[in-house]
Amino acid sequence: MECVVLAAGEGKRMRPLTARRPKVMLPVANRPMMEHLVLAARDAGITEFVFVVGYWEREVRGHFGNGSRFGIHISYAPQRQQIGTADALRSAQDLVTGPFLAMNGDMILTGADIARMIRTPAPCMSTSTTDHPGDFGVVLVENGLVMALEEKSKQLKSNIINAGAYLFTQEIFDLLARVGLSSRGELELTDALNILIGEHRLRAVPLSTWMDLGYPWDLLDANAALMTSLVSENHGTVEEGVHLSGPVVIGKDTVVKSGTCIEGPCIIGNNCRIGPHAYIRGATSIGDDCHIGHCTELKNSIVMTGTKIPHFNYVGDSVIGSGCNFGAGTKIANLRHDHAPVRVGGKDTRHTKFGAVIGDDVKFGINCSVNVGSVIGSNAAFAPGSYIKGNFGENSTIQ
């Protein structure tokens, strides 16, 4: 069995986090989201992979290489223009030789579900359920067959959705050749699926576990979920006077200084400096080469590589890019006074606690205040004492 992973897109809904990396390389529990998916497929017995790459493809190639360190073999199929999922899958046509699994790279599945899916006769499509099906392709299923598939339907006919994993034979490429541009100006896999649905030949495979990572707040949900099975490891140095509770992973050459309290689940990368007197609360992952300093508190957040949050800072329920620097006393709010769900750019996060989305290399002066739901583009810079609310584009400056 071969596996095609669609990983060419930018992930515009994840901006500004995708300014310098494709969506599939955003970290969850200190691994790129696509690595979790690929390892699940490997655990299901698949060792031959084709990655369809495009936007910032060097990030994917640089991390995964030929796959040998993961115990798999990877080939790459470039999609030079991202003009739809049908075109993306067609890019892999010359690299697959028989029946194959195809998956969107921006989701989390289990090895058990993948193993069950590849035992199902092709063609088949994975399905899941959600309380907001209007954001996805809504599916009608009867007697195990997909009877209808409608993308982002206005009139919802079920809470069953297309979960983005498929088992195909080589026949799919003949169907893809018949697909024309959609109303959105794209070549869409859905149009090929509808041919199979019209012939009553597309089976539905319900998944037991599925996490779609469409928006930054979805990263936090997945981050917390993937750390529920965390087992403590310490590859660094923990000074006397540090209190650890729950599962905590500490990377190589990381130093946790005296007076620090860490409540797991928590993952800290390599070559980090934590404390003294830092407080890190559950469901937080910290990338390599970070500094979390004196009297700084982090909670339920993702902090990417090389970010410094050094003195008297608070970060809650937020996603922080790489290479950022927080001036002393800078804090991110994460709760409205009326406890209503936080909105980001007009989008309801369905989270009563959500802080901010901060791109790469953002610089804060001392005593900055960031309000709930703020989005800050890469390379932005803020003067001391700035009040920050709403959306700020790349290279924004408040003096």
Helix, strand, coil shares of the chain, percent, nearest 5, are 20, 35, 45
User: 323 in helix, strand or coil?
Assistant: coil
Amino acid identity of 13? R
d(Cα 155, Cα 335) in Å, to the nearest integer?
Answer: 33
Is the CB of residue 8 less than 8 Å from the CB of residue 55?
Answer: yes
Instruction: Given the residues 311, 337, 339, 351, select the one marked as catalytic.
Output: 311
pLDDT in tens, the chain (399 residues): 899 999 999 989 999 999 999 999 999 999 999 999 999 999 999 999 999 999 999 999 999 999 999 999 999 999 988 788 899 999 999 999 999 999 999 999 999 999 999 999 999 999 998 887 777 788 898 999 999 888 766 666 788 899 999 999 999 999 998 887 777 777 889 899 999 999 999 999 999 999 989 999 999 999 999 999 999 999 999 999 999 999 999 999 999 999 999 999 999 999 999 999 999 999 999 999 999 999 999 999 999 999 999 999 999 999 999 999 999 999 999 999 999 999 999 999 999 999 999 999 999 999 999 999 999 999 999 999 999 999 999 999 988
Give SS3 for 62. helix
Does residue 305 contact residue 285 with C-beta atoms inside 8 Å?
no
Radius of gyration of the chain (CA): 22
> Tell me, what's the pLDDT at 153?
63
Alpha carbons 293 and 275: distance in angstroms, whole number: 4
The residues near 96 (Cβ < 8 Å, ≥ 6 apart) are: 2, 4, 50, 170
* Residue 311 designated active-site: yes
Predicted TM-score (pTM) of the model is 0.94
* Residue 176 contacts residue 83 (beta carbons within 8 Å): no
CA distance 42 to 29: 19
Q: What is the DSSP string of 231-280?
A: --EE-SEE-TT-EEES-EEE-TT-EE-TT-EEESSEEE-TT-EE-SS-EE
